[in-house]
Structure 1
Amino acid sequence: IQKRWRGYYVRKYIHNYYALKKYLEAISVNNEIVRNELQEYAEMKENEEKRKDLEKKEKEKKYQARKMHYLLSTEQIAGIYNSPFRKSPDPMELLLQKSKPLSHRQQQMKSPFAHELYDWPTCKRPPTFSTAQPLPPIGRQKPQGPFHNTAEVLRQRYKPLEPTLRVAASINSPLEKAREEMKREEWRNRIHDNEFLPFSSYHKNEKYDPSIHRSGKYGQETYGVKHFREVQPKKWVADK
């Protein structure tokens, strides 16, 4: 009796078979619903990523078309995307026709007075300083000492350069400049004014001027002109 009663009590109140079956069926249905929702969410995220990627590629393609707008075909010359050997032009050619050329960026001109007042000492005009005295800062005392006015100090510091005559004049004197110019002229010109004429007919009609050695009153030596060997017949052994 106890055995049967114990089994009945356990099956009904502790391990109820029908309640457990109903609970497991509810869990399986809930799992199926959650799985379907997760799959839909994953597909939605994937489609969104694809759409973003496609928009990015389309934007990049449009930017490249605006950047390479100079490759557009004209009435006289066909562009690289409009080959005459193709039946229809490239899609890039159609995109170039629809897009506008990319405008150049306007560079911001930096003010020359951004970092310093002006380029000293090559300046042409001194800066304009305000003569009105600014209000002293709160909580600060005037420094003690024989200091000049700030505007006067700045005017003295940034005044234009006024060189003396010695500083403004050249280091080389006019005489030295003339000598240097003469040296360059001599180096540049030819050594003599006699032109080079290599033809033999040029010296035909010139008169020969003999030297002092040849034109003396004691006659002309034959050695070196008619013969180059000294002859002494007195010292010959035979008359030959």
Structure 2
Amino acid sequence: QKRWRGYYVRKYIHNYYALKKYLEAVSVNNAFVRNELQEYVETKENEEKMKDLEKKEKEMKYQARKMHYLLSTEQIAGIYNSPFRKSPDPMELLLRNSKPLSHRRKQVKSPFAYELYDWPTCKKPPAFVAALPLPPIGRQKPQGPFRDTAEVLWQRYKPLEPTLRVAESINSPLEKAREGIKREEWRNPIHDNEFLPFSSYNKNENEKYEPSLCKSGKYVREAYGTKHFREVYPKKWIADKDFRTVAPSIFLFEKFGKSYSRAGQIV
């Protein structure tokens, strides 16, 4: 039995040769799948590269059309056609083969044009047909549980019945009375001292004229600012003579206000 079980298991359950064939088939299938995936990746990379190249070419063509003013002329060489180079730059060749960008002109609509003229289907202004008048509404009572028209109108236009909070004022009656008194006092002020003009003011013997502080002194032209520019108190002097200046005075300044000219001569 032991030998029979070993023979049966190795032939029908764990067959070495069948397992070897299966593994060979799996390896072949894996190699085939790997090749297919590698080809797919390469095609995708090539497509991405082609798209990038096309995008770059479009960008270069657009830039060439945009910078067409940098193209060199017969008299002056452009920035891409340096005389120190053996051959011009590829951008110079691209500028020669490209056309400049055209300026788009804005379509200015006429102020007198009708708005509906711009419609692609309308060649003439449409003629609007006036709507037909509606038929008169019958006065028969509509079928259904509807109330009378007079009752509905009375409920719609009935007078307002405000609540106590809305009808009454926020302020108390005492505050209202105080505000009214303040307004009356501000509107009708009472002055005990009546305004009297100057002529009638002097007629009153009991009241005397009270001069202001500015007008109480004698009107005299002050010497400060015209004769001298500092106050001098001779009583406070220690010596009888004034201080001597260290530097000599200027002779020309001493004649200021003392000499006059007569026909260009100084007297």
What TM-score results when the alignment is normalised by the length of structure 2? 0.44
Q: Which has the higher contact order (CA 8 A, sep 6+)?
A: 1
- Structure 1 length-normalised TM: 0.48
